[in-house]
Amino acid sequence: MRAAFLGVALVSACCAIAAAHGPGSHATPPTREEIVAGDAARGAAAFEKVCSACHTIEKGARRRVGPNLFGVAGARIAQKEGYPYSEAFRKAEIVWDDETLAEFLAAPAEVVPGTKMDWAVRETQQIADIIAYLKLHR
Ligand code: HEC
């Protein structure tokens, strides 16, 4: 009886969290207009906070768990020499433009199933800001 009650409580807590992030559990990618309005300064702060654990971005900087991201905006996927990309990345045919970056950052495994990047950005605005920041580094 008690266990059943707990189960119900857990299920509703889970769904409340999922609902807060809209359908599915990830952010809606920003629209073209929202990306154009992205703020690179805010993007820099967000990058520092959420991406820099795994990525560097300055040209020639030593890579971390993920590839260095200098020049990634506008480039083809998986072009950093010597980086051990997943097979999924090596086989994918994507150009990292505004739209593909937005979709990837919102839900990496939906854009490249099998990717080792196990990290999604939860806020639409933050995705737009980070893209503006990536575009400053190319
Ligand atoms: C927990 C580590 C981790 C975090 C945090 C992370 N990434 Fe990644 N990222 C990776 C890995 C690993 C790859 C390589 C994926 C593969 O080979 O499947 C990658 C790949 C990428 C790529 C494609 C690079 C290429 O050469 O094609 C982009 C763009 C990218 N990440 C952007 C970001 C941004 C922006 C953030 C912050 C919002 C971020 N990542 C956060 C680990 C991470």
Kindly list the averaged pLDDT for each block of 10 residues, start to end, along the chain of length 138. Answer: 49 42 74 97 98 97 97 98 97 98 98 97 97 97
How many whole angstroms from 123 Cα to the centroid of ligand 1? 17
Measured at the CA of 51, the angle between CA 49 and CA 55, to 5 degrees, comes to: 130
Amino acid at 48: E
pLDDT at position 26: 86
pLDDT at position 51: 98
Ligand 1 pocket: which of 55, 93, 135 to mutate (most atoms within 8 A of CB) = 55
C-alpha torsion angle, residues 39, 41, 42, 43 (rounded to 10): 80
Map tokens 């560097």 to a residue: 56
How far is 2 from 136, CA to CA, in rounded Å? 56
How many whole angstroms from 108 Cα to the centroid of ligand 1? 8
In 3D space, the residue among 57, 55, 62 whose CA is nearest the CA of residue 117 turns out to be 55
